[in-house]
Amino acid sequence: MTVRENEKVLEYTLPYKHYVDPQILDKEKKNIFFKNWILAGHASQVEKEGDFFTFEVVGESLIVSRDKNNKLNAFYNICPHRGTKVERSEQGNKKVFMCSYHGWTFQLDGKLNRAPNFDNGNLGEHSCMTHVKLEVYKSLIFVNLDKNARPLSDSYEELVNDLDKYTFLDSLKKVRVTQRMVNANWKAIVDNYLECDHCKIAHPAFSRTFDMNNYNIDTHKNYSCQYSQLKKGGNENQAHFYWIWPNLMVSIYPGEEGNMTTSTILPISPDQSLAIYSYYFRTDEITEEQEELIKFVDQVREEDFELVELLQTGFNTQAFKQGIYSPTEHGLRNFHQRIKEAMIIE
């Protein structure tokens, strides 16, 4: 086969401009982050009436709160009077939310409580902080900024059927949260998670634990699942690493007690992303064994962040315009296909 014929069978990744161009990121915000279910938090953060936390989805500040009817609500953290950000703390417990500009107050469900100098009855749509769709699945709180979004269980029907077998997930608590700014495009971080061709080289501890010759990546419409045999037996409880469209990774460790970690990747700019990773266990106390697991997961993650930061510097190269897939990188291909569909590109 000539070099030219050989090149024809190569399959190319997303062009590198998708990892550096601010206009493309703007379009991704509208077409992807404002249209899909995004993990915002966990039910254990808002157990009691008045409990709340704030969360930002690519520049849009939101409040998630539990109201006096025990219902969870999500709304934009923006005062309907003139647009001031209302709640400044990350979490807490309140009877009402108060805007610090002209003192409007809001009930726990976002409805106006009192607006000095105004008659509450005449304020139309300005009498409420703007609601956002919220759903809870396995105690995970998802929000969707698209008013017409399909229910989570419709959009992710296959995934929900798959995860339903992990009944212990409902009883976990969010025990630890870490945030890390990564100097890389959000997709580069997801790309890295979706293939394990790099594992033998980049993750020595991971490769010692899992059998890299028996590593599986199952792809589905809007999620994928990676797993392999453990080198030292106990395979009925082996870990499963899920990626869920667009920006969520969930690692489930059934084990004796059962636990889980989640990572949410949120773009800040084309070459910077916020990674929020959370650890969920059954109890608030972390055992020595669980600390070991956290250390293991953190180490693999840091190894990955170092690689993607190195990769990001290459996206600006003039040398060539896009990378190529290996035959085993079908998880990555699947993700890029979803991106193309969402961004309406060939």
Binding residues vs Fe ion (CB under 5 A): 304
**Which parts of the chain fold into alpha helices (H)?**
3-8, 22-28, 152-155, 157-163, 186-193, 199-202, 204-209, 288-314, 330-343
Which of ligand FES, Fe ion, none sits in contact with 314, Cβ below 5 to 8 A by type? none
Among 112, 124, 43, residue whose Cα is nearest residue 79: 112
Report, in Å, the least distance between residue 162 CB and Fe ion. Answer: 23
Tally of CB atoms within 10 A around 29: 17
Closest distance of CB 92 from ligand FES, Å: 19
Q: Which stretch binds ligand FES (CB under 6 A): 99-107, 168-176, 190-198, 274-282?
A: 99-107
* Binding at 95: pick from ligand FES, Fe ion, none (beta carbon under 5-8 Å per type): none
Report the residue from 68, 71, 102, 295 that binds ligand FES according to the rule CB under 6 A.
102
CA 171 from centroid of its chain's CA atoms: 20
What is the Cα–Cα distance from 250 to 260, expressed in whole angstroms?
7
Per CB under 6 A, the list member of 71, 82, 200, 208 interacting with ligand FES is: 82
Letter string b/e over residues 42-74, b meaning 16 or more CB atoms within 10 A of that residue's CB? bbebbeeeebbbbbebbebebbbbbbeeeebbb
Spell out the SS3 assignment of 205-225: HHHHHEEEEEEEEEECCCEEE
Span near ligand FES by CB under 6 A; candidates 31-39, 43-51, 100-108, 328-336: 100-108
Of the candidate spans 97-105, 117-125, 159-167, 325-333, the one that interacts with ligand FES by CB under 6 A turns out to be 97-105
- Residue choice 81, 133, 173, 220 for contact with ligand FES (CB under 6 A): 81
Q: To the nearest whole angstrom, how small is the minimum distance from the Cβ of residue 85 to ligand FES? A: 9
Q: Which does 113 bind (CB under 5 to 8 A by kind): ligand FES, Fe ion, none?
A: none
82 binds, among Fe ion, ligand FES, none (CB under 5 to 8 A by kind): ligand FES
> Binders of ligand FES: how many residues, by CB under 6 A?
9
**Closer residue to ligand FES in complex, CB, 40/99:** 99
84 forms part of the interface with ligand FES (CB under 6 A): yes
Which of 9, 17, 8 has the alpha carbon at shortest distance from 339?
17
Tokens representing residue 26 in the block: 């703007």
Check if the beta carbon of residue 332 is closer than 8 Å to that of residue 194.
Answer: yes
The site partner of 84 among ligand FES, Fe ion, none (C-beta below 5 to 8 Å per kind) is ligand FES
Question: In angstroms, rounded to a whole number, what is the distance separating the alpha carbons of residues 31 and 94?
Answer: 34
Beta bridge partners of 179: 276
Kind plus residue range of the DSSP H or E element containing 41: strand 38-42
The strand order across the sheet containing 91-93 reads 72-76, 60-66, 51-57, 91-93
Residue 118 or 325 with smaller CB distance to ligand FES = 118
Nearest distance, CB of residue 176 and Fe ion, angstroms: 21
Q: What share of the chain is helix, strand, coil (3-state, %, to 5)?
A: 30, 35, 35
Q: In the range 41-80, which residues lie near ligand FES by CB under 6 A?
A: 79
Least distance to Fe ion from the beta carbon of 307, Å? 7
The listed partner (Fe ion, ligand FES, none) that binds 81, CB under 5 to 8 Å by sort, is ligand FES
Does 114 participate in binding ligand FES (rule CB under 6 A)?
no
Interface residue list for ligand FES (CB under 6 A): 79, 81-82, 84, 99, 101-104
